[in-house]
Amino acid sequence: MRFLLCGIGSIGQRHYRNLRSLGQDVAILRSGKNTGYNRKFLDDFFEGEKREGHPVVEFHDFREALSTFDPQAVCVTTPNAHHLETALQAARAGKHLFIEKPVATSMDGVQELNDLARKKHLIVSVGYNLRFHPLLKKMKELMEAGAIGKALSAHVEMGENIEDWHPWEDYTSSYGPWREKGGGAVFCFSHDIDYLYWFLGMPEKILAVGGKMTPLKGDAEDMVKSLWTFPGGAIASMHLDYWQRPRRRSFSLIGTEGSLLWDYEAKTLVFSSRKQGEDAQEWNLPNFERNDMFVEEMRNYINAVEKKTAPAVSLPEGMDVLRICLNIREQILH
């Protein structure tokens, strides 16, 4: 397949490498406003590609890229605030879409994108890569198989210091700490919002508190707590922050027959039965590599386009997650 990759920040570079490793043809659309990190990628990785007989195709104009390269799919890896603008241009041109999370930073124009996708029969996927984590997938399988009985309660915790994200740059130069650029803990950690939605469905009510609370620079929310209720009666709590060290990401699920606990950092999943005398079961992935999820994510998307089947994370699901994000942000920012 031919992919047009729009944006070569951290996630764009990851997707470029992975798509090339999967044997795909990739052209790049970029603004030309390079940070040192972008420049190093261009100089080092792209030069290596050329030496191996794969000269990099670059564009600075979207229309020229579409007409000259004629991609089958567009991969949207621009900063959050520009996702929808790029996606709409591609959809109007009839291109399949892979959109990094979140789909957008407001609902304005999102329905138009969905209508275009339906009308033109486009395969659109949203980049919630944690759905491809082997232990999180195992946790979902166990829940659906009835291992914990009826789900009663869940808790999600995700926290890490934004200063640690990209050691090669000042965090204030990224979109992360700025509301106008689509930053903030809610959008940036919407992966965790997505998997809670994936497990328990659309919440019927959310209560949220938090906002800009830490000494970090910027104006986007950096600490948020929320409580969720679901139509089936389950309840959940969630903590997101840009501040804590060491990094923490975990998801616990309690049911009528037992409980499940996924710990991303420990690379473990534990099932505990409520029956007395039963030992806990543990699964672990000591050799797990983070990039494995992104590779599987792209394999899933390529397969969906080639076979014209639904991808693992559809546009309507991404829209639901965006609605949840906006619900939380509305409560903490106004």
Give percent above pLDDT 90 in the chain.
83
Question: What is the mean predicted confidence (pLDDT) over 284-308?
Answer: 96
Which of 9, 120, 139, 137 is closest to 75 using CA atoms?
9
pLDDT above 70 (res 243): yes
Structure token pair of residue 78: 């621009």
Question: What is the mean predicted confidence (pLDDT) over 97-123?
Answer: 98
- For residues 252 and 260, is the Cβ–Cβ distance under 8 A? yes
Predicted confidence (pLDDT) per residue in 36-54, tens digit? 556 666 666 666 666 666 6
Question: What is the mean predicted confidence (pLDDT) over 85-95?
Answer: 97
Question: What pLDDT, on the 0 to 100 scale, is given for residue 48?
Answer: 65
What's the rounded Cα separation, in Å, for the pair 160 and 14?
Answer: 20
DSSP per position, 184-245: SHHHHTHHHHHHHHHHH-S-SEEEEEEES-SS-SSSS--EEEEEEE-TTS-EEEEEEES--S
Predicted confidence (pLDDT) per residue in 126-146, tens digit? 999 999 999 999 999 999 999
Predicted confidence (pLDDT) per residue in 302-320, tens digit? 999 999 999 999 999 999 9
pLDDT above 80 (res 273): yes
Predicted confidence (pLDDT) per residue in 107-116, tens digit? 999 999 999 9
Give the range among 21-25, 41-45, 75-79, 200-204 with minimum mean pLDDT.
41-45
Predicted confidence (pLDDT) per residue in 223-241, tens digit? 999 999 999 999 999 999 9
What's the rounded Cα separation, in Å, for the pair 46 and 29?
Answer: 14
- For residues 73 and 95, is the Cβ–Cβ distance under 8 A? yes
Question: What pLDDT, on the 0 to 100 scale, is given for residue 33?
Answer: 59
Question: What pLDDT, on the 0 to 100 scale, is given for residue 73?
Answer: 98
Report the Cα 135 to chain-centroid distance in Å: 17
Strand order across the beta sheet in which 235-241 lies: 205-211, 223-229, 235-241, 151-159, 248-255, 258-263, 268-273, 281-284
Kindly list the distances between the CA atom of residue 251 and the CA atoms of 153, 238, 259, 270, 283, in Å, as whole numbers in the listed order. 11, 9, 11, 11, 15
Question: 37: buried, middle or exposed (CB in 10 Å: 19+, 13-18, 0-12)?
Answer: middle
pLDDT-based confidence at 174, cuts 50/70/90? confident
User: Any residues with CB less than 8 A from the CB of 167 and at least 6 apart, and which?
Assistant: none
What's the rounded Cα separation, in Å, for the pair 78 and 87?
Answer: 10
Question: What pLDDT, on the 0 to 100 scale, is given for residue 311?
Answer: 98
Question: What pLDDT, on the 0 to 100 scale, is given for residue 126?
Answer: 98
Question: What is the mean predicted confidence (pLDDT) over 285-293?
Answer: 94
User: Any residues with CB less than 8 A from the CB of 22 and at least 6 apart, and which?
Assistant: 295, 298, 299, 302
Torsional sign, CA 154, 132, 324, 190: positive
Question: What pLDDT, on the 0 to 100 scale, is given for residue 10?
Answer: 85
167 or 283: which leads in pLDDT: 283
User: Any residues with CB less than 8 A from the CB of 247 and at least 6 apart, and which?
Assistant: 159, 160, 161, 164, 265
pLDDT above 70 (res 291): yes
Which of 149, 150, 173, 151 is closest to 162 using CA atoms?
173
Question: What pLDDT, on the 0 to 100 scale, is given for residue 35?
Answer: 54
pLDDT above 70 (res 166): yes
Question: What pLDDT, on the 0 to 100 scale, is given for residue 169?
Answer: 79
pLDDT above 60 (res 29): yes
What's the rounded Cα separation, in Å, for the pair 219 and 235?
Answer: 30
Return the H-helix or E-strand segment holding 259.
strand 258-263
- Helices 36-51 and 10-21: crossing angle, nearest 10°? 10
* Domains by residue range for the chain, with CATH: 2-128+297-309 (3.40.50.720), 130-288+319-333 (3.30.360.10)
Question: What pLDDT, on the 0 to 100 scale, is given for residue 39?
Answer: 63
117 or 277: which leads in pLDDT: 117
Buried b or exposed e, range 295-307, using 16+ CB within 10 angstroms: bbbbebbbebbee
pLDDT above 80 (res 59): yes
